[in-house]
Amino acid sequence: MKYLFSTICLFTFLALILSPQISAQQLIPQPVAMNLSKGTFTLTASSTVGYNNTESRGAAEMFAKSIHIPTGFALTPVQRKSSAIQFNILAMPDTKIGKEGYLLSVSSKHVVISANTPAGLFYGMQTLLQLLPSEIMKKESVNISWNIPSVSIIDYPRFDWRGLMLDVSRHFFSKEDVKTYIEQMSRYKFNTFHWHLTDDNGWRIQIKSLPKLTEVGAWRVQRYGAFGSRSEPLPGEPATYGGFYTQEDIREIIQFAAERNVTIVPEIDLPGHSMAAIAAYPELSTRKDTSTRVNPGTHFAEWFSNGTFKMNIENALNPSDENVYQFLEKVFTEVAALFPGTYIHVGGDECYKGYWQQDSGCVTLMRKMNMEHVEQLQGYFMGRVEKILKSKGKKLLGWDEILEGGSISPDATVMSWRGVKGGIEAASKKHNVVMTPTTFAYLDYNQGDQTIDPPVYASLRVRKSYSFEPVPDGVDATYILGGQGNLWAENVPHLRAAQYLIYPRAWALSEVYWSPKEKKDWNDFSARMESHFMRADAAGINYSTAVFDAIIKTSKRNETLVFEMDTELSDLKIYFTIDDTMPDEYSPGYSGPVELPSGPITLRAVTYRNGKPIGHLITLKREELEKRAAK
């Protein structure tokens, strides 16, 4: 008996240490309130899944479908009052959790998700999936114990608008890519997909009454290399790169998103950023240049140190031409009929007005309207566009430049991207605001050192994204709808490159937009973030590991070059060399600013955790170190 008892104890111990370790402390975004208790619920092939009415059926069926491949369990949800895993729409609404909140209770015998709406059940289901081992993300069957920790959760979002933007003009993402993007963002409780459908580099939405928009505007000549350095189209060169979404494609994507509680906001960027439209219909511009082509990423603008710029190719619609507004009437009639959401985004950013100043029609309009400066033409244009949208039952949404000219109504919503200043101004004028400043939310920026990541003109570390506070001091929070992260695609050639840029920063922003401000804790989040690296690995999702790398800055002290290093994670150790050897744990450990001796020095730095290398090796020659000190 003693031998048998010892054997049973041994097998029990082995089962515990070899089974996947799970914890409720791995959730992103962090819930409002969570209480752990002893024990686990084990999901098995005989577990029952139920729902209490037709409204709760969708979440139950999506859960069963989500776990089918990795677990191998073919669970069929049934309408009933009680099941091992139960999805319930509350008979008496809980005002505290609102329209997107949920209640989740896990014991050793039951899992119950309750909510006021199907949206709340969907988010409760996403939390339940995160409570399962990371192998739940795999695309093949895995033979493990599917344990869920016993926990009680009350959860609801801080902001109504929790968005991610995808630019499909600079790079055309297929219909399936767009669905994947939406699927992945919905897992982290984002509820708004901002779809940047038109720009200088491609018109991506079918407008049946204006067929040239996609026959011409959706295609450009094939070019490689970084945007801004590509060569102009050659005479007669065929435009073979691009694509567009048919209206049937768009309806399919809208339905896919709706099933995941994601509202799609389409963007038709106006009056600037319209080169693709002008290539299709040159008469929409002031110069009516029939040689205009969809731009493949050439250097077509000059940017100056004071923030102004000059366009070398006309890319703005003519605000003085009534035919332009007839064109927009056709565009927005079809766009509004497709998209059921409240808003249509109309851009409004970076509109160069130099060609307007030279146009007799624009000058005449300014005189007629008693305009004192050309910027007022954009206000006039946006006012006309807003009237068109209102006639379609839609609200205008635009970048913060739409405030210029003062012609938009209080109903218009402002997306603040040039810092938070535009959002503060808009809120003071009682406009609703979506905060998406470059300094925290531009996900096309580098996440790590410029020598490791492909070089971009700006950088944004995940810790900085996590530190974002969407409601500035002194601003009435009732006007801040929420925020979003933006992915511009000039240098994004495929979906995996998009994922590398989005994650983990989008995870950080999901917590900024969903979780209580008071619960924000970088060290706590970063630990949970690393558990989601494992989940991403299991799902085959790409992400950046720049958070493990050293951060290197230089300065000058009495003409002596000094470097300083830091890390985003507190438990990393930096080792470095300046003697042309490779650094390891026996090299000097960084502890404070270091003065570099003269000569052709090369700094090499690498991070370690628990005696093992973890970050990228960063190698900086003296020229690069001097360059950084000069910034």
From CA 608, how far away is CA 611, in angstroms rounded? 6
Structure tokens at 20: 């996947």
> Secondary structure of the chain: what % helix, strand, coil (to 5)?
35, 25, 45
CB 186 within 8 A of CB 29: no
Q: Report which of 593, 558, 556 is spatially closest to residue 574, judged by C-alpha positions.
A: 593
Q: Give the 3-state secondary structure of residue 242.
A: strand
Helix pair 247-258, 175-186: axis angle to 10 deg: 20
3-state DSSP of 142-205: CCCCEEEEEEEEEECCCCCEEEEEEECCCCCCCHHHHHHHHHHHHCCCCCEEEEECEECCEECE
273 is catalytic: yes
From CA 385, how far away is CA 271, in angstroms rounded? 10
Length of the chain: 631
From CA 416, how far away is CA 473, in angstroms rounded? 16
Q: Report which of 348, 459, 441 is spatially closest to residue 401, judged by C-alpha positions.
A: 348
Among residues 249, 334, 350, 425, the one annotated as catalytic is 350
The one-letter amino acid code at 173 reads F
Left, alpha or beta for 347 (phi > 0: left; psi -120 to 50: alpha)? left
Give ∠ CA 177-453-629 in degrees, rounded to 5: 145
Structure tokens at 81: 């009052």
Which residue has tokens 């991506």? 204
Structure tokens at 396: 């205008």
Among residues 171, 194, 196, 273, the one annotated as catalytic is 273
Among residues 100, 135, 167, 199, the one annotated as catalytic is 199
Structure tokens at 571: 């438990």
From CA 491, how far away is CA 162, in angstroms rounded? 24
What's the order of all strands across the beta sheet hosting 85-89? 33-43, 146-155, 102-106, 111-115, 85-89, 49-51, 78-79
From CA 613, how far away is CA 170, in angstroms rounded? 37
350 is catalytic: yes
345 is catalytic: no
Active-site amino acid positions: 199, 273, 350
